[in-house]
Amino acid sequence: MDDLYIVGSSGSMYLNAEGGYLHASKESLSAQNIEAVYPVGMIGEAAIHAIILRRGSSIPFEKANLRSLLSVSKNEQEYVTLSRAAQLIIWHNEHRYCGRCGHKMLHHAVDLAKHCEQCSLAQYPRISPCIIVLVVDGDRCVLARSPRFPPGRFSTLAGFIEAGESAEAAVHREIHEEVGIDVTNVRYFKSQSWPFPHSLMLGFFADYAGGELLADGVEIEEANWYYRDAMPDLPPSFAISSALIQQFLNGDV
Ligand SMILES: [Zn+2]
């Protein structure tokens, strides 16, 4: 099978005529429009590459909404490939200059990285670990909504791991900060790459251990206990939050 190319520019991806992500042939994009090409992985037998267009270059395609594309990805492999391509496109655009000396960054000779000729600093694609947690208490669980959510949507609690912090400590801290309760028996579920813009979501379950459920009013505008037979509008099925909630709904937590 021919190689496929996912095309992006300044953190955006492009749509093809059918509304999927653009996988153009390299030849169909004029060479002067191409700034960089990164290997992404395989879908079936096709090698996937992310092409970053030069800033200011225009091609006759619509820009894609990454969240919409991921929501209709056909399988785990396609999700992973789109997520990785999006993160490489974003990383390339946000790391053009050395953070130490300000010199222009060049491709690393061996690694998938950028390299500063002036001071030798290497810069790898950035990944930001986050915890995402479903707190349970017997037949009920905590779901909360951020002001950024669509109306009526509730989800699991989540937050970035701070410098020097373990994932488990972040679970305790974030839950206490966001909704005021304490948890115990924190246990790992699974992880998911989340390219908005470069998170790695580490999924956990935790048991309620005390305190009054109270939203902080900043990151969380409302938090409630929910029973299996009376759930609110939930996150889309491709998100790890949905997988955590589904485990609870199935009685597997
Ligand atoms: Zn430098």
DSSP 49-86: EEEEEPTT---SSPEE-HHHHHHT-SSHHHHHHHHHHH
pLDDT reading at 40 higher than 70: yes
pLDDT reading at 150 higher than 50: yes
pLDDT reading at 11 higher than 60: no
Antiparallel, parallel or unpaired: β 114-115 and 106-107: antiparallel
Ligand 1 centroid, distance to 81 Cα (angstroms): 30
Confidence band of 123 (pLDDT split at 50, 70, 90): very high
Confidence band of 67 (pLDDT split at 50, 70, 90): confident
Q: What are phi and psi of 230, to 5 degrees?
A: -145, 60
Grouping H, G, I as helix, E, B as strand and the rest as coil, residue 213 is coil
How distant, in Å, are the alpha carbons of 34, 54, 95 from that of 178? 44, 41, 32
pLDDT tens digits, one per residue of 13-29: 665 545 556 665 556 66
CB-CB neighbours of 54 under 10 Å: 11
pLDDT reading at 159 higher than 80: yes
Work out the average pLDDT over 159-180: 98
Q: What's the chain's average pLDDT?
A: 87
Work out the average pLDDT over 43-59: 74
Ligand 1 centroid, distance to 112 Cα (angstroms): 17
Ligand 1 centroid, distance to 49 Cα (angstroms): 27
E-state strands within 138-181: 140-145, 157-160
Residues, the chain:
253
| Per-residue pLDDT, 201 | 98
Ligand 1 centroid, distance to 51 Cα (angstroms): 25
Q: Please list, in sequence order, all residues whose beta carbon lies within 8 angstroms of the beta carbon of residue 172, skipping any fewer than 6 positions away.
A: 182, 183, 186
Ligand 1 centroid, distance to 104 Cα (angstroms): 8
Ligand 1 centroid, distance to 16 Cα (angstroms): 38
Ligand 1 centroid, distance to 230 Cα (angstroms): 56
Ligand 1 centroid, distance to 87 Cα (angstroms): 22
Ligand 1 centroid, distance to 3 Cα (angstroms): 34
pLDDT reading at 71 higher than 90: no
Ligand 1 centroid, distance to 36 Cα (angstroms): 20
Which is more confidently placed, 240 or 54?
240
pLDDT reading at 152 higher than 80: yes
CB-CB neighbours of 30 under 10 Å: 9
Alpha-carbon distance 51 to 56, whole Å? 15
Q: Please list, in sequence order, all residues whose beta carbon lies within 8 angstroms of the beta carbon of residue 201, skipping any fewer than 6 positions away.
A: 130, 131, 132, 158, 191, 192, 193, 194, 240
Ligand 1 centroid, distance to 243 Cα (angstroms): 42
Nearest to 117 by CA among 132, 102, 131, 128: 102
Domains and CATH numbers, the chain: 4-94 (3.90.79.20), 96-126 (no CATH), 128-249 (3.90.79.10)
pLDDT reading at 213 higher than 90: yes
Confidence band of 196 (pLDDT split at 50, 70, 90): confident
Grouping H, G, I as helix, E, B as strand and the rest as coil, residue 173 is helix
Q: Please list, in sequence order, all residues whose beta carbon lies within 8 angstroms of the beta carbon of residue 40, skipping any fewer than 6 positions away.
A: 6, 48, 49, 50, 81, 84, 85, 88
In the chain, the N- to C-terminal Cα span, in Å, equals 43
pLDDT reading at 223 higher than 90: yes
Nearest 5 degrees, angle CA 218-CA 223-CA 227?
165
| Per-residue pLDDT, 42 | 75
Ligand 1 centroid, distance to 83 Cα (angstroms): 28
Ligand 1 centroid, distance to 214 Cα (angstroms): 47
Ligand 1 centroid, distance to 163 Cα (angstroms): 23
| Per-residue pLDDT, 142 | 98
Which is more confidently placed, 200 or 12?
200
The token pair at 184 is: 């115990």
Ligand 1 centroid, distance to 101 Cα (angstroms): 4
Confidence band of 60 (pLDDT split at 50, 70, 90): low
pLDDT reading at 1 higher than 50: no
| Per-residue pLDDT, 5 | 60
Ligand 1 centroid, distance to 122 Cα (angstroms): 8
pLDDT reading at 72 higher than 60: yes
pLDDT reading at 230 higher than 90: yes
